Amino acid sequence: MTRALPVLTVLAGIVAIWYAAAVWMNATWIFDQAERNGQTVTWAEVIPQTMDQARPLLPPPHQVAAELWKGVAGQAVTSKRSLVYHGYVTVKGTLMGFGLGIVMGVLLAMSIVRFRVMDMSVMPWAIISQTIPIVALAPMILTLSSQLGISGRDVPKAIIAAYLSFFPVLVSMVKGLRAPDQMQLDLLRTYGAGEGATFLKLRLPASMPYFFASLKVAIAASLIGTIVGELPTGAIEGLGARMLIGSQFGEPLIMWAALFAAAILAGMLILAVGVVERLARARMGVPA
- Per CB under 8 A, contacts with another protein among 212-241 are 216, 220, 223-224, 227-228, 231-237, 240-241
Measured from the CB atom, the residue of 188 and 251 that comes closer to another protein is: 251
Four-residue CA torsion sign, 22, 24, 28, 34: positive
H or E stretch including 45?
A: helix 43-50
82 touching another protein, by CB under 8 A? yes
Give the shortest CB-184-to-another protein separation in angstroms: 19
Q: What amino acid is encoded at 15 in this protein? A: V
**194 near another protein, rule: CB under 8 A:** no
Between CA 150 and CA 143 the distance in angstroms is: 10
Q: Among 125, 190, 285, 287, which residue interacts with another protein (rule: CB under 8 A)?
A: 125
- CA 279, chain centre distance (Å): 22
Figure out which of the listed residues 44, 148, 183, 288 binds another protein, where binding follows CB under 8 A. 148
DSSP code at position 4: H
Counting contacts by CB under 8 A, is residue 203 touching another protein?
no
Tell which phi-psi region holds residue 93, choosing left (phi > 0), alpha (psi between -120 and 50) or beta: alpha
- String of contacts with another protein for each residue 92-121, x by CB under 8 A: -----------------------xxx-xxx
Shorter beta-carbon distance to another protein: residue 36 or 283:
36
Among 139, 133, 163, 147, residue whose Cα is nearest residue 230: 139
Confirm if 220 and 266 have CB atoms less than 8 A apart: yes
Q: Which of 86, 157, 159, 174 binds another protein (CB under 8 A)?
A: 86
> Residues 252 to 271: which contact another protein by CB under 8 A?
252, 254-256, 258-259, 262-263, 266-267, 270
Cβ atoms of 97 and 160 within 8 Å: the answer is: yes
Q: Could you say which residues in the range 154-183 bind another protein, by CB under 8 A?
A: none
